[in-house]
Structure 1
Amino acid sequence: MAQLYFYYSAMNAGKSTSLLQSAYNYRERGMHSIIYTAALDDRYGVGKVTSRIGLQADARLYAKGDDLFQSISEIRATQKLDCVFIDEAQFLTKEQVRQLVEVVDELKIPVLAYGLRTDFLGETFEGSHYLLAWADKLSELKTVCHCGRKASFVVRRDPNGDAVTDGDQVQIGGNDSYESMCRKHFKQLVWD
């Protein structure tokens, strides 16, 4: 039975690595899957999912307004499709999450989505919000704060290293702009 899975975490928990490993497992068993990633995140090249440990794979791009159900249906009409992977799932829209639900329920194809739960202010992204609400299975991938506790939040840093407490929700960056932290240290920097 196909299900919608949402694997979420703070940054640096290995979401892309986990996605790439799962996609490899499908290929190794002779099964066919496709990978989608957000068009706005091109840090590692357009149409690529890349992990910090060096793994990478080609991916189809999705942008706001794209119909993922239609795209996946068209692919399925021309080839066998055993699984769909979504990287950077926090950037999905409400309608795109609904489309992924339809891929699972109507096309009977499992969808594994990977993304951040919250932004640098502790607010859920639109895609994460609806995945948390509608996914069949939720799984938290864990990383650690500098203090050793589980990191559930992300702090955005400015060029001086100070915590940013306002601004656009989306700013593409990596280890140089963001730091994963436990709630206690996140609160000290962002809420206080």
Structure 2
Amino acid sequence: MAQLYFYYGAMNAGKSTTLLQAAFNYRERGMRPMLWTAALDDRAGEGRIASRIGLEADAHMFGPGTDLHAAIAAQPADCILVDEAQFLSAAQADQLADVVDGLGVPVLAYGLRTDFRGQLFPGSERLLAIADKLVELKAVCGCGRKATMNLRIDSAGIPVRAGAQTEIGGNDRYVALCRRHFMEAFRAG
């Protein structure tokens, strides 16, 4: 029975690595995974999913107007793997649920839970509400605790407290922290 999974975690929790490993496992068994990533995140190149440990794969891209159900229904797949799922709209998250329920294809979505202010992303909020399975992937704060928050920093390493919810970046723009250290850094200054 197909299910909708949401794998979430802070930056550097291994979400893309886990997705790429799942794709490899499906292919190794002769199955066809269909990979998706957000069009606005082109750090690895347009239509590419890449992990910090060097794994990469081509992917379909979704933007705000993409009808995921229609695009997925148009080509055969044994599994749908979605990277950067926080950038889905609530409607697109519902479309993925329709893929599971109507087409019988499992969907594994991977993304951040919260933004640099500790607020839920719309796609993540909807996935947290409707996913059949929620799986937290763990990152580690510098203190050794589980990192659950993403602190945006500027080029000098100073915490950023205001701005657009979405600003693409990696270790140069974000630090994964436990709640305590996130709150201390966010409130300081």
Aligned counterparts of 2:150 and 2:164: Cα–Cα separation in 1: 14
Other-structure match for 2:152: 156
Q: CA separation in 2, counterparts of 1:31 and 1:159?
A: 43
**Deviating runs (4+, > 6 A) in structure 1?**
none
> Is residue 91 of structure 2 the alignment partner of residue 95 of structure 1?
yes
Distance in 2 (alpha carbons) for counterparts of 1:69 and 1:2: 15
Q: Deviations over 1:77-98 (max 9, x none)?
A: xxxx210000000000011001
User: Using the alignment, how far apart are the partners of 2:187 and 2:147 within structure 1?
Assistant: 16
What does 1:73-84 align with in structure 2 at a 5 Å threshold?
A: 73-76=73-76, 81-84=77-80
| 1:181 maps to 2:182 | no
* Counterpart for residue 10 of structure 1: 10
* 2: CA distance, partners of 1:142 / 1:161: 23
| Whole-Å separation in 1 of the counterparts to 2:57 and 2:157 | 32
Q: Does 1:21 align with 2:21?
A: yes
Counterparts of 1:24 and 1:129, CA distance in 2: 28
CA distance in 1, matches of 2:173, 2:93: 28
State the distance in 1 between where 2:99 and 2:130 align.
Answer: 13
**1:166 has 2:162 as partner:** yes
The residue that corresponds to 2:66 in the other structure is: 66
- Equivalence for 1:132: 128
In 2: Cα distance, 1:3 partner to 1:70 partner: 18
| Counterpart for residue 39 of structure 1 | 39
> Which amino acid in 2 is paired with 1:27?
R
Residue of 132, 138, 145 corresponding to 1:142: 138
Gap regions ≥5 residues in structure 1 = none
Aligned counterparts of 1:154 and 1:62: Cα–Cα separation in 2? 23
Task: Give me the TM-score of the superposition, normalised by structure 2.
Answer: 0.98
Give the structure 1 partner of residue 56 of structure 2. 56
CA distance in 2, matches of 1:148, 1:37: 30
C-alpha offsets along residues 152-171 of structure 1, whole Å, 9 cap, x if unaligned? 00100012211001100000
Q: CA deviation at 1:74?
A: 0.6
RMSD: 0.7
Distance in 2 (CA, whole Å) between partners of 1:158 and 1:51 is 23
Provide the C-alpha distance between the structure 2 equivalents of 1:47 and 1:168, rounded to a whole number of angstroms.
23
Compute the displacement of 1:191 (Å).
3.5
Q: TM-score, normalised by structure 1?
A: 0.97
- Distance across 1 between alignment mates of 2:27 and 2:88: 25
Question: How many equivalent pairs are there?
Answer: 188
Distance 2:175 2:89 in 1: 25
- Percent same amino acid among aligned pairs? 59
Unaligned runs of 5+ in 2: none
